[in-house]
Chains A and B, each alone.
Chain A
Amino acid sequence: MNATVLGIESSCDDTAAAVLRGRCILSNVVSSQTNLHAAFGGVVPELAARAHVERLDLCVEEALRRARLTLMEIDAIAVTAGPGLIGGVMAGVMCAKGLAAATGLPLIGVNHLAGHALTPRLTDDVPYPYLMLLVSGGHCQFLRVDGPNGFARLGGTIDDAPGEAFDKVARLLGLDQPGGPAVERTARDGDAGAFAFPRPLLDRAGCDLSFSGLKTAVLRARDLSLVDGALPRSARADICAAFQEAVAATLAEKSRRALALCPEATAFAVAGGVAANAAIRTALEAVGPVPFLAPPLALCTDNGAMIAWAGSELLAMGQRDGMDLAPRPRWPLDPDAAPMLGSGRKGAKA
């Protein structure tokens, strides 16, 4: 897998492009994180396909420039073909098709979630199979990763993702967004034992997760802690600490169960912002017995390098897509997985 691959990603807020040679990241451009946006007068992520269309060419050009390569020195073009917002995905796929048609280079459609799930292979060369806790934006699932196209979903959230729970708890408590860092900062002065928040779904077998009921519990704790209509600073810190503790304990226990479901796993990898939370990271590191790893955050948020890497693995397997590559707004990694039923709140009561 020493091919030079251009990766294009535009399935949500960010427009991104990257060039990879083997495991070496030659460039990794994300429109919201570079001075590219200076040309547009703001960093505000835009959902509009129009914004992706405007930025895609610039991102690709910038990625090639930083890699000091021309299009003709690239071996293949990988692009996110779903899941995501249809407008953005379509813009990316059209851009990639245009480049492939003009250059004659192979075109490879990549599942956005596969990009995230294969990132530990890019950063740490982890052998298959491994356990992946994938926490990306609105997604949260445990996957056994068997190959570039082989994913078994062992469980996931039946309602909110953990990052979303942090954002919403921050909103409930009047803290800044993004909620992860704000809650973590506030929790430092708090007593996690001050509130007994539920450990959602621990009473249920398997490794499904639910965070919606925890959010409701935080809402109640907030309303019960009000003094003259205001939330005392100490109560806010205690709620944050207890909430964080509940998320950490739940994720760690569910990870243990997920690992028990795939004893052949060579490693336990976490991709996503939650691994940046020290309390959660500490809890997940202790899960064992296999090595724990968390790729750097820049490679866990949406980026082109992960798409290029997944494309590189698929290229090595012989995958080539034609001009009929279709954007897929919904594209489960494991189409055979049973749907998750049941109410998070029911579990949260236990």
Chain B
Amino acid sequence: MASMTLYLPDPDATDRLATALAPLLRAGDAVLLSGDLGAGKSHLARRIIQSRQAPHGRVEDVPSPTYTLVQTYEADGVEMIHADLYRLADPSELAELGLDDALGQAIALIEWPDRLDISPALALDVTLTPEGEGRRITIAGPDAAWAERLSRLKGALGG
């Protein structure tokens, strides 16, 4: 288990974190985004997706998935799934959303992951909490592979 905690004073700081984290993600990764309404989960996910797309041409809109539940994106042959499970009434609906199939293959960015019946194995846990004018973010990875990537993330963020 490796984890890091950062204070993000403004959206630019969130953007820098997303830009540093995005290239470290690989197909099959699940990133669980926890935090209350307005904590900045969607903003972080949006920036991660757009950072992955930026080097490969077309950067797409990443609207809120609250109503559509799941939106899919693609960059350089890797599928990215942005899901908001808040409206999910029953975990059995996950299969209908195609999320079961996508987990383990795509990069899955999942908001409100507490709606999942079984948490994906080896997922990166990201928790956002409003604090003052900004947000406190905790990023935790369960294994050595994540520990290595989180140390690279720290390096990319300059400490």
Does A48 sit within 8 A of B, measured CB to CB?
A: yes
Q: Determine whether the beta carbon of A339 is less than 8 Å from that of B63.
A: no
Do A138 and B65 contact each other (CB < 8 Å), given the known contacts A46-B89, A168-B38? yes
Bound together, the chains give a CA A49 to CA B60 distance in angstroms of 27
Q: Determine whether the beta carbon of B42 is less than 8 Å from that of A159.
A: yes
Q: Determine whether the beta carbon of B59 is less than 8 Å from that of A159.
A: no
Specify which of B50, B64, B89 is in contact with A138 (CB 8 Å cutoff).
Answer: B64
Specify which of A46, A86, A164 is in contact with B66 (CB 8 Å cutoff).
Answer: A164
Q: Determine whether the beta carbon of B98 is less than 8 Å from that of A86.
A: yes
Residues of A within 8 A of B72 (CB): 329-330
Q: Determine whether the beta carbon of A160 is less than 8 Å from that of B66.
A: yes
Q: Determine whether the beta carbon of B11 is less than 8 Å from that of A171.
A: no
Q: Which residue of B lies closest to A219 (CB)?
A: B38
Q: Which residue of B lies closest to A163 (CB)?
A: B67
Return the CB mask of A82-98 against B: 1 if under 8 Å, else 0: 00111100000000000
Specify which of A47, A160, A161 is in contact with B69 (CB 8 Å cutoff).
Answer: A47
Interface residue tally of chain A, by bracket?
A: 35 or more
Q: Which residue of B lies closest to A168 (CB)?
A: B37
Q: Determine whether the beta carbon of A50 is less than 8 Å from that of B11.
A: no
Do A85 and B37 contact each other (CB < 8 Å), given the known contacts A159-B43, A340-B61? no
B interface residues, how many (CB within 8 angstroms): 34
Q: Determine whether the beta carbon of A161 is less than 8 Å from that of B63.
A: yes
Residues of B56-86 contacting chain A, CB below 8 A = 58-61, 63-72
Bound together, the chains give a CA A12 to CA B70 distance in angstroms of 12
Does A345 sit within 8 A of B, measured CB to CB?
A: yes
Bound together, the chains give a CA A289 to CA B11 distance in angstroms of 38
Q: Which residue of A lies closest to B68 (CB)?
A: A138
Q: Which residue of B lies closest to A346 (CB)?
A: B11
Does A234 sit within 8 A of B, measured CB to CB?
A: no
Q: Which residue of B lies closest to A343 (CB)?
A: B11
Q: Determine whether the beta carbon of A172 is less than 8 Å from that of B37.
A: yes
Instruction: Give the one of A160, A219, A220, A343 with max B CB within 10 A.
Output: A343
Q: Determine whether the beta carbon of B64 is less than 8 Å from that of A161.
A: yes
Return the CB mask of B44-59 against A: 1 if under 8 Å, else 0: 0010001000000011
A272 nearest CB across to chain B (Å): 12
Q: Determine whether the beta carbon of A158 is less than 8 Å from that of B61.
A: yes
Does B97 sit within 8 A of A, measured CB to CB?
A: yes
Does A31 sit within 8 A of B, measured CB to CB?
A: no
Does A232 sit within 8 A of B, measured CB to CB?
A: no
Do A345 and B37 contact each other (CB < 8 Å), given the known contacts A12-B67, A137-B67? no
Residues of A160-188 contacting chain B, CB below 8 A = 160-161, 164, 167-168, 171-172
Return the CB mask of A135-175 against B: 1 if under 8 Å, else 0: 00111000000000000000011111100100110011000
Pairs across A and B, CB under 8 Å, 23 listed: A44-B89, A46-B89, A47-B97, A49-B96, A84-B68, A85-B68, A87-B97, A137-B67, A138-B63, A138-B66, A158-B63, A160-B63, A161-B63, A172-B38, A212-B42, A216-B40, A218-B38, A219-B38, A329-B72, A339-B58, A341-B50, A341-B59, A346-B12
Interface of A toward B, CB cutoff 8 Å: 12, 44, 46-50, 84-87, 137-139, 156-161, 164, 167-168, 171-172, 212, 215-216, 218-220, 223, 329-330, 339-341, 343, 345-346
6 closest A-B pairs by beta carbon, nearest first, are: A138-B67, A345-B11, A219-B38, A137-B67, A48-B96, A160-B64
